[in-house]
Amino acid sequence: MSLGLQDRRDVSFLVRDVLKVDRLFETAQFEGQSWETFEMIMDSALKQAEALLPTNVDGDREGLKFEAGAVTTPESFKAAYKSFCEGGWIGLTEPEDLGGFNLPKSLAVLPQSALIGANVAFYILPGLGHGAADLIAHAGTKQQIKRYVPKLLSGEWGGTMCLTEASAGSDVGALRATAKQQPDGTWHITGTKIFISWGEHDLSQNIVYPVLARVEGDPAGTRGISLFLVNKYQLDEKGRLGARNGVVCTGIEHKMGIHASPTCTLAFGEDAPAVGELIGEQRKGLAAMFKMMNTARIAVGLQALGVAEAAYRYAHQYALDRVQGVAPKDMRDPQAKSCAIIKHPDVRRMLMDMRGYVEGVRALLSYASLQQDLVAAGQEPERNEAMAGLLTPLCKGYASEVCYQAVSDSILVLGGHGYLSDHPLEQNLRDMVIARLYEGTTGIQALDLVARKLGLAKGASLKDLLGRMSETIAEAKAEGLAELAGVMEKTRDSLGLVAMKLGEGFAKGDVDGVFLQATPMLMLTGDAVLSWLHLMMAVAAKRVEKRAVFHDNKIATAQHFIINAAGRIGGRVKAMLANDKAAMEMKFEGEDEV
């Protein structure tokens, strides 16, 4: 048998039986969508993923070529990109009048994660194109939407995002890029941006660069930042491509992973004017760009899930095929035959750990996306938008951390063979590292959660989350899952307690103390949320009239995750409540010199 790249049974169970996404089909926003459409899209996605899979190793080993400002991508990417665009995969969630399928985001994340699992370096390009289209659709004029969005969603034009500068890093307000308006109403952009994914390549006719810059004379800091659209080629009044614009790739980075995804340094206006146009209001650029950044953060969570599931399923298949040693229960029998390593307890433990993270993160991303779908459908928009905002740091920060752990464990299942390039897992691990870094490191996501999301509106979203957990706990008790429900109750209470203590720390002005606990709080919250979602899935499995092994496995996976997460949470709570300040009191060598 072949386990493939994704568990279709789990996908269907999650969206049908657990999240009941079909309630969206009854709304005006998603009228016309159906399970039949979704299943057809999933079938096509898995076929596309299988076709894309061979380009993953090709891209990693062939890499990129950079010469005279031009980036040449791996040869196998050409046909793959053409096929990908023809399949309409970039515009899955976008309105039909813009060339999309208007698929609910809670459903779209599932085919997307399978495609990402096939080749994450490749998928970053169409993912960025979608993000740029989404940004323009949100902040652009009708003319800009008409000009840019269809071409970005078709893949005819590529997109990226240009925020980071060498002197600013995560401090976006310290950027130095400038914009000066011209008599004809256009803008000339000057400055250098670094770490620009797919900022130069040979796969699309044009590249659209949303660029953050400061108009000369506008205030310092984030309040003075505006957003501009710059094209690789200048556009005439009808939107047709003309002469090369003044944006040049001056180099690409040599990285640990995603070798086939060019990470570029871009110079704007260095040798020729970089002509651009304002998008949105002047001095409101960061707010507009956050739309794309939040989309990108969910996309990073999808990257983490796609790669982790591919690694888990490869390790699972290997454990079925690899025969070594005898089962522990037969160790004293000299006539015992060797068995597949999946019979060994420690291998089973690692597979269960990986499975819990993969299925839990899938549920997290679908649930968070469902909140966005409910907002779009006009269903309790304020409440559900706030919940989506609360979960976003988990979708990026927590998901990237635990999926990295899952990929690391997949190598352990293979033992020394997992370390070899004969198998894809060492590449999976290298490709996974970036998910913990870009679109805001795990630490940045933790600060967002602790400093902004948990206390927003006097903790209304956190209270809502705890309330939703309580509803699931009550349902679990009613379905005969009282023991697991009891463990979940303690997890819920621990989350509420630590959140309260951090709030008290803020009130006392102990900012350092609170920020020291930000990342532990992110991980604690993520473990609590995944425990809740696993309990939700166990409840749904118990309610199935004709239960199969699959449903029993859902309950077993929930049990394993919830109990082990409770152990991690208990340790974190004790450490966090101790309010250890040693890291701030430490005198690091050389610190006084900087």
Q: Closest by alpha carbon to 300, among 436, 417, 164?
A: 436
Q: What is the DSSP letter of 267?
A: E
Q: What is the DSSP letter of 162?
A: B
Alpha-carbon distance of 356 to 558, in angstroms, equals: 7
Q: Taken in order 113, 115, 120, 125, is the CA torsion positive or negative? A: negative
Q: Is the pLDDT of residue 567 over 60?
A: yes
What mean pLDDT is predicted for residues 101-106?
96
The tokens describing 508, both together, are: 């006392």
328 confidence band (pLDDT: 50, 70, 90): confident
User: Whose structure tokens read 């250890």?
Assistant: 580
What mean pLDDT is predicted for residues 459-468?
97
Question: Which amino acid, one-letter code, is at 466?
Answer: L
Topology at the third CATH level for domain 291-577: Butyryl-CoA Dehydrogenase, subunit A; domain 3 (1.20.140)
The tokens describing 526, both together, are: 């993520």
Q: For 243-276, what is each residue's pLDDT tens digit?
A: 999 999 999 999 999 999 999 999 999 999 999 9
What mean pLDDT is predicted for residues 94-106?
91
What mean pLDDT is predicted for residues 352-378?
97
Alpha-carbon distance of 338 to 433, in angstroms, equals: 36
Q: Is the pLDDT of residue 170 over 80?
A: no
In order of 167, 189, 190, 215, the CA distances from 178 in angstroms are 14, 6, 5, 6
Give 179-200 as a DSSP string.
EEE-TTS-EEEEEEEEEEETSS
pLDDT given for residue 103 in this prediction: 97
Max Cα-Cα span within the chain: 90
Question: Which amino acid, one-letter code, is at 492?
Answer: R
User: Whose structure tokens read 């269960």?
Assistant: 352
Alpha-carbon distance of 354 to 508, in angstroms, equals: 40
593 confidence band (pLDDT: 50, 70, 90): confident
Q: 439 catalytic, yes or no?
A: yes
Q: 6 or 122, which is more confident? A: 122
494 confidence band (pLDDT: 50, 70, 90): very high
pLDDT given for residue 187 in this prediction: 97
The single residue of 439, 471, 504, 593 carrying the catalytic annotation is 439
2 confidence band (pLDDT: 50, 70, 90): low
74 confidence band (pLDDT: 50, 70, 90): very high
Q: Is the pLDDT of residue 507 over 70?
A: yes
Q: Is the pLDDT of residue 3 over 80?
A: no
173 confidence band (pLDDT: 50, 70, 90): confident
Average pLDDT, the chain: 95
592 confidence band (pLDDT: 50, 70, 90): confident
Q: For 27-55, what is each residue's pLDDT tens digit?
A: 999 998 999 999 999 999 999 999 999 99
171 confidence band (pLDDT: 50, 70, 90): confident
Alpha-carbon distance of 461 to 585, in angstroms, equals: 34
Q: For 403-420, what is each residue's pLDDT tens digit?
A: 999 999 999 999 999 999
Q: Is the pLDDT of residue 1 over 60?
A: no
Q: Is the pLDDT of residue 303 over 70?
A: yes
289 confidence band (pLDDT: 50, 70, 90): confident
Q: Which of 204-213, 288-297, 530-539 has the lowest mean pLDDT?
A: 288-297
pTM listed for this prediction: 0.96
Q: Closest by alpha carbon to 30, among 114, 94, 102, 92?
A: 102
157 confidence band (pLDDT: 50, 70, 90): very high
pLDDT given for residue 109 in this prediction: 96
Alpha-carbon distance of 360 to 533, in angstroms, equals: 7
